[in-house]
Amino acid sequence: MNEERYILFDQYLQGELTVDEKNNFEKQLNEDAEFASAFESFKEMHFQLENKFGQEAEREIFAENLTRISDKYFNNKKTKVVSLKPWYFAVAASIAIMFGLFFFDYNHYPNFEDYNHPESAYFTERGVSEETLKKAEDNFNGKRYEKAIPLFESILKENNSPEIRYFYGISLLQVGKYVKAEDIFKELETGNSAYKEKAKWNLALSKLKQGKYAECKEILQTISQDYEDYDEVERLLEELE
C-alpha cells in the first residue's frame, strides 16, 4: 500500500492542492491508467467509509477494533481513529481486510463496479467530423474516458444528438464528474429518445457510485419494466433492500 498516494488522493478530493499540484495530478490521471484506476478505487472506498461510519456508535466500535490492529501493524502507535482523515480509514480498512480482522460487512451495500458495464459505442452520426467521431468511439470503447470527453464536447458543438450526449454522460460518470453526468442523464430521461430508460439507469448508477443509496433506489423504481436490462434493475433493488 502507498500511504503517500492515499494522502494525495484525499488532498485532491478535499481541494487542498495548489493549482500546479492539481494540474500535475490531473495530468497523471490522463496519462497513467494504473494511477487513475487506483484513484477510482480510493473514491469508492471513501464513499463507502463515509456512509458506513456516519453513525457515531459504529465509528467507536470500529475505532476499538482498529486500535488492536494498529498495535500490531502500525508500530504499536495508539491512534484516535475517529479524528483521522478518510485516507487513513482507507489504509486501515485495507490492512484489516488483508489480515481478516475487519468486523463489518462492507458487502452489505452493492458495489458500483458490479453493475458498471457500459455498452460499446458504434456511432453513425452525420454532419460531424468522421475522424473526431472515430477517435471518440475508440477512446470510449477503450475505456480512455478522459480522452473521450473533450472529443465528445467538440462533436456536441456540431451535433447535439441523444446518442452523443448519452455516451458523453457515461464518460463523465466513469471519471467521477457526477454533476455534469447527472445533468446529461436528467435531460435524456425527460425526452422520448431510445436513451430515456438507459439515462435513468445510469443516473441511478451515479448515485450508487457516490454511496447515495436511498436516491439510487428512488431512481431505480422509476425505470420501466420494458427496459432491456430490467433484470439488473431488479437485482440492484434487491441488494438495496
In this prediction, what percent of the chain has a pLDDT beyond 70? 71
Distance, in Å, from the CA atom of 207 to the CA atom of 188, rounded to the nearest integer, reads 17
* Mean pLDDT, range 8-33, rounded to an integer: 87
Distance, in Å, from the CA atom of 224 to the CA atom of 235, rounded to the nearest integer, reads 15
**Residue ranges per domain, the chain?**
3-103, 132-240
Say yes or no to pLDDT of 48 above 80.
no
Report the pLDDT value the prediction gives residue 104, as an integer from 0 to 100: 45
CATH of domain 132-240: 1.25.40.10
Report the pLDDT value the prediction gives residue 162, as an integer from 0 to 100: 95
102-106, 131-135, 185-189, 228-232: which has the minimum mean pLDDT?
102-106
DSSP state of 1: -
Report the pLDDT value the prediction gives residue 13, as an integer from 0 to 100: 84
Say yes or no to pLDDT of 240 above 80.
yes
Enumerate the H helices of the chain as residue ranges: 3-13, 19-31, 33-52, 56-73, 86-98, 130-141, 145-156, 162-174, 178-189, 196-209, 213-220, 230-240
- Under a CB-based contact definition with an 8 Å cutoff, are residues 162 and 191 in contact? yes
pLDDT tens by residue, 103-161? 444 446 788 999 999 999 998 766 678 889 999 999 999 999 999 999 999 999 988 99
Say yes or no to pLDDT of 67 above 80.
no
Report the pLDDT value the prediction gives residue 76, as an integer from 0 to 100: 45
